[in-house]
């Protein structure tokens, strides 16, 4: 007879001689369970056990929050325990789906398989230049992402897309992002920039902005990497 | 004698009683009482919600519920929103429409989310259902304005046409003109997704004119600010309004016209839209701000000072969606002005920037948690967080039902202590006993999952990315979260063990998504073989999973419970692990 501890795990033993000729299906599960109870199987060695890292001894139990599993066991032993409420309360006809969250399934495997697959199979996403789907801003924000790369700014439609440009002021602790489409001319842009960076300036900046008498001028870096003075190219 | 009477209610009486039972859960319970109640109930169920269109087949639904008038279907998994589900994966509605066209001639309402809807499907809807009233296409795709024209033309009593967040092939703005002159029944029209292309504005004006019951109208970006006043004056009864473009050169007459139009809308409670905002036009809203309960500024690139001014005029605000331009200072103002706030979403203005472009940190959220006792739902993008802040938020807001935090850089530690954020999220799940939805981010070990498994008893949906150390993390969640329905995981070191050990749990959930994790192909096959009531699907766009060793991890895995068996519309890059389905195809 299986001990109560072993019985926490319902074994689908592909190694179990009783079952080797049977296909596992929901209708025959009950009988398999009875059979495994009756035979004195010692499949501990092939059992897949969960344990905290470093504790792989065959006799270790899974410890959750310091308590071992046996105390979490409400009922096991040999009988089928009453179903706990699960989801919409639908009845389940799998008798191996017995005990809800405390149920332990074990799919036996060779001890060799306990070794996780070679790490070089698992790519290191953080080294990838661009992670798919991160940041998770969602399709709701698709318009924003597209305009961040100025994809739509070439389209003929009037106010399509947005043109985000990073603006940096020397000495400011961080840059600002500005949507050029919200401004209709250089004046509006320069007054907006004035406003945005006003917390950092100590010098005077006249309302005329770029025009005259201002300590700061607005420059931008074009696609060739050259610094250009704002105002030469028409808005 | 008296005992007999209890069992002798005529069916009509029971049927009448059952009409008062609206919730699906209650209806399901009713149908389990006895066979005759099952029969009566199924004939009078009018509304069906199907959270996963592949969990059941149209035929099964029709067979059980022959007289349905309203159906809601969801297709793709949530991570499709973040481009993790390749195009062509599935979620086609056509077969559903085709079967229902024959079985439900009186179907009046169709609500779809994340499904592929073709013009053919729309045309079929238009000609099959004589009493069609409500079409909601939430985050759908695959159709064009031609399909919309068919709906507009044929649906004589259309009440709701809501295309929120859908991708529409905008072929012509004239589809709106297909609404017949006799159509006066519209209550809700949401065309905000139609982008910058023009919708026939005169057709829109005329439509609004003749629909006196119009309560909810969301315009698209192609409608310019100067046209808003025209629309509002035709529909002063609006409760929910989405502007189009909110930008124009400041002109006093345009401004006063707009302000006057807004003030004439005495019922207006909810605003959205606000593409390309010119801040000078925001004061036009001030007359209605005191009544506003919902404000969606997630497209509005207005800076903190303007946001502060606006928000301070809205003391009754319950729901605010905003960009991180609001900054900590704006959120502090929100916390002091808006004591009724229930839902806050802060989106990143520059999610891909290497450095922060705005001064928005964890402090803003802490301030809101302190000032807004009714806060229930949070979605917050930021660049730094601390355990201390999370603990404070948890203690201030024990009534949170939804907490989604996205720290932009993966695996960011507590910026004060450099520790993982396990304790912070642990405090969230511990204090917020009604938490139903949680999204994690930042540096997290298996411990956070221990907390979630212990305390997250009401948790229904969990989203995890770049977290955990080992299978134990996943095991904690699957074994501890009793109410879990949806679990979505990406880039975590979770492998076979926890999944196989908790296989039975998966039948109690709607679905599990795992991508860029460590689940082997062999484990997927095993799960597919042993669990006939689960559909185990492996997604791999590069090569067939069986061209590699069985121990090799699969790229993407989507597992969902189903009574319909494996689906027949899988594209070549999706493999079903069901024993009955050949792996090679």
Instruction: Kindly report, residue by residue over B306-330, the tens digit of the pLDDT.
Output: 999 999 999 999 999 999 999 999 9
User: Nearest-CA residue of chain B relative to A127?
Assistant: B410
Does the beta-carbon distance from A100 to B482 stay under 8 Å?
Answer: yes
E strand or H helix at B439: strand B437-439
The helix (run of H) or strand (run of E) holding residue A167 is strand A164-167
Phi and psi at residue B437, to the nearest 5°: -135, 135
Q: Which residue of chain A has the CA closest to B464?
A: A136
Q: Is the ipTM of this complex over 0.90?
A: no
pLDDT digits (tens, 9 = 90+) for B119-162: 999 999 999 999 999 999 999 999 999 999 999 999 889 999 99
Across the interface, do A65 and B450 touch by the CB < 8 Å criterion?
Answer: yes
Alpha carbon distance B117, B114 (integer Å): 9
B248 touches A at CB < 8 Å: no
Choose the closest CB to A132 out of B84, B501, B518.
Answer: B84
Specify the pLDDT at position B292: 98
At B546, the pLDDT band (50, 70, 90 cuts) reads confident
d(CA B370, CA B248): 38
pLDDT at A136: 87
How far off is chain B from A107, nearest CA to CA, in Å?
Answer: 7
Q: Measure the CA–CA gap between B424 and B386, rounded to whole angstroms.
A: 7
Contact flag B301-A132 (C-beta cutoff 8 Å): no
Residue B327 and residue A199 in contact, taking contact as beta carbons nearer than 8 Å: no
B-chain CB neighbours of A26 within 8 Å are 532
For residue A137, give how far its alpha carbon lies from the nearest alpha carbon of chain B (Å): 7
Interface residue B495 vs chain A (CB under 8 A): yes
Q: Does position B559 have pLDDT exceeding 50, yes or no?
A: yes
Structure tokens at A204: 């005077």
In this structure, are residues B220 and B240 in contact, taking their beta carbons and an 8 Å threshold? no
Lookup: tokens for B330: 């704006």
pLDDT: which is higher, B197 or B373: B373
Burial A147-173 (b: 16+ CB within 10 A, else e): bbeeebeeeeeebbbbebeebebeeee
> What are the residue boundaries of the structural domains of chain B, listed by start?
169-289
* Residue found under tokens 């994340």: B114
pLDDT of A120: 39
Predicted local distance difference test score (pLDDT) of residue A56:
43
Q: Taking Cα atoms as reference points, which of B41, B36, B42 lies closest to residue B60?
A: B42
The answer, yes or no, to whether residue B289 has pLDDT greater than 50, is yes
Q: Is residue B304's pLDDT more than 80?
A: yes
Q: What is the pLDDT of residue A130?
A: 65
Please compute the mean of the pLDDT values over residues B401-420 and round it to a whole number: 97
Average pLDDT over residues B253-275: 96
Instruction: Select the residue of B167, B503, B509 nearest A105 (Cβ to Cβ).
Output: B503
Give the span between the Cα atoms of B293 and A142, in whole angstroms: 26
Q: Does B247 touch chain A (CB under 8 A)?
A: yes
Give the phi and the psi of residue A51 in degrees, each rounded to 5: -155, 165
Poorest-pLDDT segment among A45-54, B58-67, B248-257, B272-281: A45-54
A174/B518 CB distance under 8 A: no
Work out the burial of residue A177: count CB atoms within 10 Å of its CB; fewer than 13 is exposed, 13-18 middle, 19 or more buried: middle
pLDDT at A138: 74
Residue B1 three-state SS? coil
Distance in angstroms (rounded) separating the CA atoms of residues B214 and B484: 39
Please answer whether residues A22 and A28 qualify as being in contact, where contact means their C-beta atoms are separated by less than 8 angstroms: yes
Tokens read off for B346: 């802060």
Confidence of residue B228 (pLDDT cuts 50, 70, 90): very high
- Spatial neighbors of B265 by CB under 8 A, at least 6 apart, are B232, B235, B236, B237, B238, B241, B288
Residue in B299, B505, B516 closest to A101 by CB: B505
Q: How many CB atoms lie within 10 A of CB B385?
A: 27
Q: What is the mean pLDDT of residues B88-110?
A: 97
* C-beta separation of B513 from B558 below 8 A: yes
To probe the interface with A, which of B190, B301, B539 has the most A CB atoms within 10 Å? B301
B91 touches chain A (CB under 8 A): no
How does DSSP classify residue B135?
Answer: E
Smallest CA–CA separation between B232 and chain A, in Å? Answer: 22
Query: Cβ contact (<8 Å) for A141 and B247?
Result: no
Share of chain B above pLDDT 90, in %: 92
d(CA B26, CA B46): 14
Q: What is the DSSP string of A63-104?
A: EETTEEHHHH--S-TTSPPPPPP-TT------TTS-SGGG-E
How far does Cα B507 stand from its chain's mean position? Answer: 23
Lowest mean pLDDT, pick from A53-57, B292-296, B297-301:
A53-57
Question: Contact A137/B350, CB-based, under 8 Å?
Answer: no
Residue B410 pLDDT level (bands cut at 50, 70, 90) = very high
CA pair distance B408, A75, nearest whole angstrom: 45
Q: Is B329 an 8 Å CB contact of chain A?
A: no
Tokens of B356: 């922060």
Lowest mean pLDDT among B7-16, B27-36, B345-354, B485-494: B7-16
Higher pLDDT, B452 or A198: B452
**A to B CB pairs, distance under 8 Å:** 179
- Say if residue B284's pLDDT is above 90: yes
Q: Quick one: pLDDT at residue B129? A: 96
Residues on chain B touching A126 (C-beta within 8 angstroms): 410-411, 466
Decide if B360 contacts B303 (C-beta within 8 A). no
Q: Give the pLDDT confidence score for residue B165 in this predicted structure.
A: 94
B321: β partners: B296, B345
Chain A contact present for B347, CB below 8 A: yes
Q: Which of the residue ranges A29-33, A104-108, B11-15, B81-85 has the most confident prediction, judged by mean pLDDT?
A: B81-85
B172 Cβ contact list (under 8 Å, min separation 6): B145, B146
Instruction: Indicate the length of chain B as a whole number.
Output: 585
Across the range B87-103, mean pLDDT stands at 97
pLDDT-wise least confident of A87-101, B50-64, B428-442: A87-101
Tell me the mean pLDDT in the region B26-32.
Answer: 94
Mutate to test the interface with A, among B81, B220, B412 (most CBs of A within 10 A): B81
Show the low-confidence residues of chain A (pLDDT under 70).
1-130, 139-188, 190-192, 194-218, 220-221, 223, 225, 230-235
Write the burial class of residue B184 (CB in 10 Å: 0-12 exposed, 13-18 middle, 19+ buried).
Answer: middle
Q: Are A230 and A186 in contact (CB under 8 A)?
A: yes
- Return d(Cα B181, Cα B183) in angstroms, integer: 5
> Do the Cβ atoms of B518 and A131 come within 8 Å?
no
Choose, out of A27, A62, A85, A117, the residue to mutate when testing the contact with B (most B CBs < 10 Å): A117
Please answer yes or no on whether A101 and B245 come within 8 Å at the CB atom.
no
Average the pLDDT over B384-402 and give the result. Answer: 98
Residue matched to tokens 């999204």: B439
| Residue B173 pLDDT grade (very low, low, confident, very high; cuts 50, 70, 90) | confident
């Amino acid at each position: 007879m299986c001990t109560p501890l072993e019985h926490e795990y319902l074994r689908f033993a592909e190694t179990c001689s009783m079952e080797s000729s049977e296909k596992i299906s929901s209708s025959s599960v009950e009988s398999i369970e009875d059979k495994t109870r009756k035979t004195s199987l010692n499949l501990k060695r092939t059992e897949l056990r969960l344990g905290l890292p470093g504790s792989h001894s065959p006799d270790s139990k899974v410890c959750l929050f310091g308590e071992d599993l046996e105390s979490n066991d409400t009922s096991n032993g040999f009988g089928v325990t009453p179903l706990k409420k699960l989801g919409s309360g639908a009845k389940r006809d799998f008798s191996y789906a017995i005990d809800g969250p405390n149920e332990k399934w074990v799919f036996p495997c060779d001890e060799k398989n306990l070794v996780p697959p070679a790490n070089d199979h698992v790519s290191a996403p953080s080294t990838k230049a661009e992670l798919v789907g991160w940041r998770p801003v969602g399709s709701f924000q698709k318009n924003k992402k597209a305009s961040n790369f100025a994809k739509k700014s070439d389209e003929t439609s009037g106010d399509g897309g947005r043109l985000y440009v990073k603006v940096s002021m020397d000495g400011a602790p961080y840059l600002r992002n500005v949507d050029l489409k919200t401004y209709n001319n250089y004046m509006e842009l320069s007054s907006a920039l004035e406003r945005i960076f006003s917390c950092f300036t100590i010098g005077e900046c006249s309302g005329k902005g770029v025009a005259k008498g201002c300590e700061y001028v607005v420059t931008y870096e074009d696609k060739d990497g050259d610094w250009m003075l704002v105002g030469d190219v028409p808005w | 004698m008296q005992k007999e009477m209890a069992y002798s209610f005529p069916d009509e009486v029971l049927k009448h009683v059952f009409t008062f039972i609206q919730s699906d859960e209650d209806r399901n319970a009713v149908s389990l009482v006895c066979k005759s109640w099952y029969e009566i109930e199924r004939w009078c169920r009018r509304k069906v919600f199907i959270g996963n269109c592949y969990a059941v087949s149209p035929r099964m639904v029709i067979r059980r519920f022959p007289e349905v008038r309203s159906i809601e279907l969801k297709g793709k998994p949530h991570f499709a929103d973040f481009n993790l589900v390749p195009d062509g994966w599935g979620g086609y509605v056509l077969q559903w429409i085709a079967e229902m066209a024959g079985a439900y001639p009186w179907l009046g309402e169709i609500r779809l989310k994340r499904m592929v809807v073709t013009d053919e499907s729309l045309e079929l809807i238009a000609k099959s259902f004589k009493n069609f009233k409500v079409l909601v296409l939430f985050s759908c795709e695959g159709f064009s304005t031609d399909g919309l024209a068919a709906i507009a033309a044929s649906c004589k009593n259309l009440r709701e046409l809501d295309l929120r967040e859908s991708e529409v092939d905008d072929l012509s703005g004239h589809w709106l003109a297909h609404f017949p002159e006799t159509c006066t029944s519209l209550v809700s029209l949401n065309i905000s997704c139609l982008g910058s292309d023009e919708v026939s504005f005169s057709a829109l004006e005329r439509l609004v004119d003749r629909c006196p019951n119009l309560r909810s109208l969301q315009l698209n970006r192609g409608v310019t600010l100067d046209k808003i006043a025209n629309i509002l004056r035709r529909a002063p009864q609006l409760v929910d309004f989405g502007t189009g473009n909110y930008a124009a050169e400041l002109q006093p007459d345009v401004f006063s016209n707009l302000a006057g139009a807004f003030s004439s809308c005495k019922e207006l409670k909810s605003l959205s839209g606000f593409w390309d905002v010119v801040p000078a036009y925001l004061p036009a809203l001030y007359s209605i701000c005191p009544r506003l309960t919902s404000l969606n500024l997630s497209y509005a690139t207005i800076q903190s000072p303007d946001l502060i001014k606006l928000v301070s005029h809205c003391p009754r605000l319950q729901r605010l969606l905003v960009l991180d331009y609001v900054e900590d200072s704006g959120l502090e103002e929100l916390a002091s002005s808006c004591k009724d706030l229930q839902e806050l979403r802060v989106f990143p203005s520059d999610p891909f920037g290497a450095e922060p472009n705005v001064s928005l940190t964890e402090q803003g959220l802490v301030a809101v948690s302190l000032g807004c006792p009714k806060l229930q739902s949070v979605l917050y993008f930021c660049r730094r967080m601390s355990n201390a802040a999370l603990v404070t938020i948890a203690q201030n807001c024990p009534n949170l039902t939804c907490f989604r935090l996205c720290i932009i850089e993966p695996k960011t530690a507590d910026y004060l202590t450099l520790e993982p954020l396990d304790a912070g999220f642990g405090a969230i799940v511990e204090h917020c006993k009604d938490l139903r939805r949680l999204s994690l981010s930042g540096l997290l070990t298996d411990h956070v999952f221990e907390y979630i498994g212990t305390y997250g008893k009401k948790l229904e949906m969990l989203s995890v990315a770049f977290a955990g150390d080992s299978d134990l993390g996943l095991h904690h969640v699957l074994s501890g979260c009793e109410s879990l329905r949806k679990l979505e995981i990406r880039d975590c070191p979770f492998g076979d063990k926890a999944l196989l050990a908790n296989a039975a749990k998966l039948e109690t959930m709607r679905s599990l998504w795992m991508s860029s994790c460590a689940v082997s192909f062999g484990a997927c096959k095993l799960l597919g073989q042993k669990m006939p009531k689960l559909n185990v699907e492996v997604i791999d766009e590069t090569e067939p999973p069986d061209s590699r060793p069985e121990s090799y991890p699969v790229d993407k895995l989507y597992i969902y419970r189903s009574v319909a068996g494996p689906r027949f519309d899988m594209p070549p890059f999706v493999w079903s692990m069901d024993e009955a389905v050949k792996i090679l195809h």
